Amino acid sequence: MRPVYIHVSLTFVANFYLCAVVSSQFTTGSREGLSQNCSSVDNMNEGIELLKAKRTQLEVEFVSNSFKGAANAMRMHQSAKFINKYTEVYRAKVVTCATRCKARNALPKLFVHVKHPCTCLLKAVKTSVHVYEMIDYFLWEPAWPQGNKYYKRYSAFLWGTLNMLQEKQCDSRLREKLHYFIPHHHWYGLDKEPIAVQTRSRYTISYIGHKLPPAGFMKKLSRFVEAEPAITFRYVQFKTVRKAINELSQTDLAFVWDNCGEPSHFEKSRNRHACNAWKPSERFVNLLAMGLPTILHTNMLACMEAIRLTGLEYNATVSNTNEFFALVKELLGNVARRRIIQTQGLAIAKEYGEDRIARQYSRMFDSILGALGKSARGQH
């Protein structure tokens, strides 16, 4: 049986990949033995329609063993919110690992483990389907799944970038699993008014991230700002969504730069390429969603992928520091040009809207349950 390609009606080049999908972009090689796990979702259609008619819902729980990181906490709550708001068949909620491991009654049809897996559930619960959404956990466990004895308990893996999907679905240890891609990038609502782009006497350029870019770049940036009295640099550390938005709302121009190679960050540059290529591009897409003209370094491969998948134009990318400083001057000196970049960015961000993300999760759940032969009519 041929592997299944699940396509959602979006403008992306690809939205889901299941098992051994081969596209014009990827050559994934042989997938012998995969056909038993790859099947059409047709056998779910009758059950899904029945659920809609009876107003019955399948329960999904997003779980994590740690809520300290901003990425997984936001991802889980947003995923549940979007699913409940825009889909009919699935009802989602967020639970902590500790809470769920103590109360194993009324188990959901699906568990989605986000970033920090809930090993007690993987060990003990075999009646529910387990899905793993890694986000950027590879930065802490670069050799994963090596050393993780529970990865075989997952039925499916959800990846945030196509770069990561390509590499992981080719991993011999994961070939018999189901693989999906959902570009979930949002924490900023597109229903809000975009930031006003206007002419000022002084301008602020901002960088957002948990770590600053490399020291060499920061020294050049410091010298640049000192030589330009009308420009102020602001480093926005992401601690809460509200605080980040408040600080960014006072920004005229933002930039996204490599922060994966400093010695203090994730053991020197061991994971630098993986960080740039695999780490989901929330920081970039959300700046665009705010209406902030944003300069992007082309070595941020996941962010470049976010542009490429929409098929839209974005004319604010640079490949080196000289291009960056030249573009900063050009954009701050030309309000019309900044407004063009803002319009292009908003168009890209809208392709990753919350309603589309929700429908992608719903299609993924349909596909997983169909491929595994789980009847929608069964007990939750």
Specify the amino acid at residue 228: E
pLDDT of residue 293: 97
Closest CA to 96 of 78, 79, 120: 120
Domain boundaries, the chain: 42-184+354-371, 203-350
- Is the Cα torsion angle 258, 301, 8, 375 positive or negative in sign? negative
Task: Please tell me the predicted confidence (pLDDT) of residue 33.
Answer: 26
Query: Number of C-alpha atoms within 13 angstroms, CB side, residue 123?
Result: 8
pLDDT in tens, 280-311: 888 899 999 999 999 999 989 999 999 999 99
Q: 74: which 2 tokens?
A: 């936001």
Task: Say what the pLDDT of residue 23 is.
Answer: 30
> If you write DSSP's letter for every residue of 59-92 in order, what string do you get?
EEEEEES---SHHHHHHHHHHHHHHHHH-SSEEE
Q: Please give the chain's pLDDT, 380 residues, in tens.
A: 233 333 333 333 333 333 333 232 322 222 222 222 333 334 445 554 555 544 468 999 999 887 765 667 788 888 999 999 999 899 999 998 888 888 877 889 999 999 888 999 998 898 899 999 988 877 767 677 776 778 889 999 999 888 888 878 788 888 888 999 999 887 677 778 899 999 999 999 999 877 788 889 999 999 999 999 999 999 988 767 778 888 888 899 999 998 675 544 444 445 677 778 888 888 899 999 999 999 999 989 999 999 999 999 999 999 999 999 999 999 999 999 999 999 999 999 999 999 999 999 999 999 999 988 754 434 43
Segments in the chain forming alpha helices (H): 42-54, 70-86, 97-102, 119-124, 162-169, 215-227, 241-248, 272-278, 282-289, 301-308, 321-332, 335-350, 354-371
State in words which class domain 42-184+354-371 has.
alpha beta
pTM value is: 0.82
How far is residue 348's CA from residue 185's CA, in Å, rounded to a whole number? Answer: 11
Q: From the centroid of its chain, how far is CA 2?
A: 28
- Homologous superfamily assigned to 203-350: Glycogen Phosphorylase B; (3.40.50.2000)
Q: How much is the CA Rg of the chain, to the nearest whole Å?
A: 22
Q: Decide whether 42-184+354-371 matches 203-350 in CATH topology.
A: yes
Q: Is the dihedral of CA 264, 270, 273, 279 positive or negative?
A: negative
pLDDT digits (tens, 9 = 90+) for 33-74: 222 233 333 444 555 455 554 446 899 999 988 776 566 778
